[in-house]
Structures are given as structure tokens and as C-alpha cells.
Amino acid sequence: MSSEVTAMAARLRWHAGQLGDVRRHALSVGLLSWESPAGGNFRTYLAERSEELGRTVDQLESAAQELGAFAGVVRDAEERQHGAGL
């Protein structure tokens, strides 16, 4: 069970990394010069989405950290059960 929780935490970290990459790409596109009014709107859109992605990445990383801590608790319980012969 603890290995499953650890694997879930690793998957969350991986997804957070992927979204972080998407965010960095969106931010770099937003830095390009956009001369038209539509371009300005697009930059605003990218900035807003990048902000949302940043919050999502933070939440995924936080969830992965909490899952990692939970995996430790589960691992300790598994060791106690094993030590008790259960």
C-alpha cells in the first residue's frame, strides 16, 4: 500500500513538472511583441492562464508532498503490522 501512495505522489510531481513546462512556454510566448489589439488580448489571456497554471502546479506539488508524508505513515504502520506478525 505505501508503495502505491509513493507512486501516486511521484505521478503528481511528474504532472506538476509537465504543467510547469507548459506555463514557461506560455510565458515565453507572452513576451513576444504583439502589435495588434488581438495580440494584446492574447498576451493578457496567456498571462491569466499562466497564473492559473502556476497555482495548479503549486497545488499539485503540495498534494504530492502530503502524499509523500502519508506514504511514510502507511509504511510505518505496515512495518509495525509485519513486526507484530500480522
Give me the pLDDT at residue 2, please.
85
As a three-state string, the secondary structure of 47-80 is HHHHHHHHHHHHHHHHHHHHHHHHHHHHHHHHHH
- Give the three-class secondary structure for 14: helix
pLDDT digits (tens, 9 = 90+) for 1-59: 889 999 999 999 999 999 999 999 988 988 888 788 888 889 889 999 999 999 999 99
**Distance separating alpha carbons of residues 80 and 85, to the nearest angstrom:** 9
What is the pTM (predicted TM-score) of this model?
A: 0.78
Give me the pLDDT at residue 1, please.
86
